[in-house]
């Protein structure tokens, strides 16, 4: 089966590498369409991952078309590729906020899968949620899920509205974690720890805490209780977090991301 990735940016290239490295397709079965930047086209060609194309005439050759452009470019892209698409093709969109209905109307196609990956997909540790229209066959859906799983774990959600929730949690989530890590690094430095040492302390703390969480059978609250002895240092920090309603601030931030995803869809 032939796959066409429209957009040779970070995520388009991530998928190309993952598909090739996982041997689900070879370079002859994979095409990348890139039109915006000559230097990017040259770089993609040098990688040898796929056939690099710069026009729309080969779109009909692909059984699967992956839409990997910025959401603000969707309308322009649809107008350009609509004459070349076919109703038998499956379209996988990773454009944040762009609804299935928008894709259906923009391209006049019905076989659509909307997915939301996140940045760790670049190293095979991603989290991707997806949902499919009823016109996508069970075989096609399973094939595409297998492709998505080359970049990490997948979650098949039944309702498209949940994709916007996923965008706010796992899609944007890595940035929330980096934000918290950066704050902890700043805290260590403000108390006299050098930058490199602060980064090591925080990096290994996050890594170890996640490993412990994955290997244990306790909830986050239970793990907090195991670390926070009564009257101890951890309890003092948690008390400050609770007084500042940090949990509600995080919830409000995620809801703002969700609302923005909904707005992008309009």
CA distance 183 to 194: 14
Q: Which of 158, 192, 217 is the last residue of a domain?
A: 158
CATH of the domain at 27: 3.40.50.720
Q: Answer yes or no: do 185 and 143 share one domain.
A: no
Question: pTM value?
Answer: 0.87
Longest dimension (CA), the chain: 69
Does 89 lie in the same domain as 122? yes
Whether 166 is covered by a domain: the verdict is: no
Distance CA 54, CA 17 (A): 19
Beta bridge partners of 132: 113
CB-CB neighbours of 115 under 10 Å: 25
Q: Which residue has the tokens 């793990």?
A: 223
Report which of residues 166 and 39 the model is more confident about.
166
Q: Which of 130, 158, 186 is the last residue of a domain?
A: 158
User: Does the pLDDT at position 42 exceed 80?
Assistant: no
- Token look-up 């080359």 returns 150
- Helix/strand/coil for 155: strand
Higher-scoring residue by pLDDT: 173, 52: 173
Q: Is residue 150 located within the same domain as residue 178? A: no
Which tens digits make up the pLDDT trace of 109-122? 999 999 999 999 99
Which of 98, 89, 45, 44 minimizes the C-alpha distance to 68? 98
- Final residue of a structural domain among 109, 124, 158: 158
Whether residues 119 and 149 share a domain: the answer is yes
How does DSSP assign 49-109, residue by residue?
SSEEE-SSTTGGG-SEEEE-S-GGGHHHHHHHHGGG--TTSEEEE--TT--HHHHHHHHT-
Return the closest-CA partner of residue 128 out of 155, 158, 150, 105. Answer: 155
Instruction: Determine the Cα–Cα distance for residues 77 and 196; give it in Å rounded to an integer.
Output: 45
* 219 and 146 assigned to the same domain: no
Q: Are strands 3-6 and 30-33 parallel, antiparallel or unpaired?
A: parallel
- Determine which of 8-12, 19-23, 145-149, 240-244 has the lowest per-residue pLDDT on average: 8-12
């Amino acid at each position: 089966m032939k796959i066409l990735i429209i957009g040779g940016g970070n995520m388009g290239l991530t998928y190309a590498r993952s598909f090739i490295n996982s041997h689900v397709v070879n370079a002859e079965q994979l095409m990348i369409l890139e039109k915006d930047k000559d230097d990017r086209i040259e770089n993609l060609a040098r990688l040898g991952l796929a056939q690099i194309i710069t026009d729309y005439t080969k779109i009909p050759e692909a059984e699967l078309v992956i839409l990997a452009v910025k959401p603000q470019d969707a309308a322009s892209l649809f107008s350009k590729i609509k004459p070349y698409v076919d109703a038998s093709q499956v379209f996988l969109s990773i454009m944040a906020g762009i609804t299935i209905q928008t894709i259906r109307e923009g391209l006049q196609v019905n076989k659509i899968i909307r997915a939301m990956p996140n940045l760790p997909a670049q190293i095979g540790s991603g989290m991707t949620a997806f949902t499919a229209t009823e016109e996508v066959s069970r075989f096609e859906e399973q094939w595409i899920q297998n492709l998505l799983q080359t970049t990490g774990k997948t979650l098949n959600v039944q309702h498209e509205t949940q994709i916007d929730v996923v965008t706010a949690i796992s899609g944007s989530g890595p940035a929330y974690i980096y934000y918290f890590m950066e704050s902890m690094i700043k805290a260590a430095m403000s108390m006299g720890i050098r930058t490199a040492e602060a980064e090591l302390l925080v990096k290994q703390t996050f890594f170890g805490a996640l490993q412990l969480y994955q290997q244990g059978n306790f909830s986050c609250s239970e793990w907090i209780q195991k670390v926070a002895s009564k009257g101890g240092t951890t309890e003092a920090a948690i008390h400050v977090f609770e007084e500042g309603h940090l949990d509600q601030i995080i919830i409000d931030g995620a809801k703002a991301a969700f609302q923005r995803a909904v707005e992008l869809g309009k």
